[in-house]
Amino acid sequence: MEVVIVPDAKAGGELIAEGIAALLRRKPDALLGVATGSTPLPIYDALTAKVRAGTVDVSRARVAQLDEYVGLPPGHPESYRSTVLRQVVEPLGLDAGAFMGPDGSAEDVQAACEAYDRALAEAGGVDLQILGIGTDGHIGFNEPCSSLASRTRIKTLTEQTRVDNARFFGGDIDQVPHHVITQGIGTILEARHLVLLATGEGKAEAVAQTVEGPVAALVPASALQLHPHATVVVDEAAASKLKLADYFRHTYANKPSWQGI
């Protein structure tokens, strides 16, 4: 696992966007796994700027959703499909056919989960998966004590996650669904490169447990320690509880230029 400490969220977004651009130069039809929420917005903003500047071509890129609320009507503005279309697909100028995600409004939710897992495999797998992290260490919607071998499935959200997400629903927690479809940890670990961005002091404890704690279902993000190519990008506030912060700064400062993100 590589840990990169950056000054702020904008710098983190720029760093990750450049890594995505480098991937697309090598593999123009790469499948990018995208996360929602406020944390990854600097990534999408920086990547959009590169597209508009003509420094990267995304015309053949594909986008895969990480998770989705269950029960929101199609087209609901806070569904993750709508969010990804609004924040990623449309700004990058991608065709709607380049986007894939689970069906949170399906009558048979379990079948929808299994279908999405198959679709990801049939698409050749995710080349780079962007991840955020919850204050309790969840990735995707794999809440604490999720199986580290789990596949795409339905999950019940914790009260803390619903509280955290109420800001997207006008502050009304009653509007936040109780259930979601999420790629499981086992599914996420199949991506070729995992990139987690965390910003703010509120994520510091979760980051410390993810990076320096034991691999444990209680901190789902700690499963990144098992991945052969995982990058954790954190701002100074999110890095504030890392015991090895100085070592991480040293290793990044002396990183060979050929290694890439």
Kindly name the residue from 67, 68, 164, 235 that is annotated as catalytic. 67
Which one-letter DSSP state was computed for residue 158? P
Active-site residue, 67 included: yes
Kindly name the residue from 136, 164, 193, 235 that is annotated as catalytic. 136
Kindly name the residue from 103, 127, 143, 164 that is annotated as catalytic. 143
Kindly name the residue from 14, 117, 138, 193 that is annotated as catalytic. 138
Helix (H) or strand (E) holding 13: helix 9-26
Active-site residue, 212 included: no
Active-site residue, 236 included: no
| CA–CA gap between residue 185 and residue 150 (Å, rounded) | 5
Distance from chain centroid for Cα 119: 18
Q: Which of 99, 76, 108, 40 is nearest to 177 (CA)?
A: 76
Q: List strands edge to edge, sheet with 179-182.
A: 67-69, 179-182, 153-156
The 3-state DSSP class for residue 69 equals strand
Write out the two tokens for 208: 């410390």
Write out the two tokens for 96: 């709607």
- Would you name the residues annotated as active-site residues? 67, 136, 138, 143
